[in-house]
């Protein structure tokens, strides 16, 4: 029996609220029967997308909100993160060894599929994991 979808809308895009959301999502993913290591990958990529919302979606304005939907489908799990801000092109970091600018790489490396769609009404990140496939050994 599949669990009810995870649905959390209107969460302030601020660190404390996003940390709570990460823990709630982890509890839901584990409750859906996903193996712990795979669940960690799912939540890591999802949290990176949430951090990108906090860092980039709303600029210098008051913090906006983020919506998270997750659902278990036959053979796959999907997480959709939606903001209502504006896409801003990344600003190049001039530091020789930068700790920034790797979020999208991490999303794509952690999920089996990562689709990002942006427009005037915000950005939608859809992350999908195939649950029937055995993840690569790390």
Q: In the prediction, which pLDDT does 92 show?
A: 60
> For 37-87, how does the pLDDT look when each residue is reduced to its tens digit (9 = 90+)?
999 999 999 999 998 887 777 766 677 899 999 999 999 999 999 998 876
Distance CA(13)–CA(34), nearest Å, equals 26
Q: Which two tokens stand for residue 32?
A: 């859906």
pLDDT class of 88 with cuts at 50, 70, 90? low
pLDDT of residue 23: 97
Give the integer Cα–Cα distance in Å for 113 and 66. 21
> What is the model's pTM?
0.82
């Amino acid at each position: 029996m599949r669990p009810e979808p995870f649905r959390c809308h209107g969460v302030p895009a601020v660190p404390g609220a996003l940390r709570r959301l990460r823990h709630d999502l982890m509890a839901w993913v584990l409750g859906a029967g996903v193996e712990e290591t795979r669940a960690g990958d799912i939540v890591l990529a999802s949290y990176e997308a949430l951090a990108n919302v906090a860092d980039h979606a709303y600029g210098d304005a008051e913090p906006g909100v983020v919506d998270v939907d997750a659902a278990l489908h036959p053979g796959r799990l999907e997480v959709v993160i939606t903001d209502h801000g504006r896409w801003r092109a990344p600003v190049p970091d001039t530091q020789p060894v930068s700790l920034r600018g790797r979020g999208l790489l991490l999303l794509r490396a952690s999920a089996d599929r990562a689709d990002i769609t942006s427009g005037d009404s915000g950005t939608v990140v859809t992350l999908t994991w195939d649950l029937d496939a055995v993840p690569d050994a790390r």
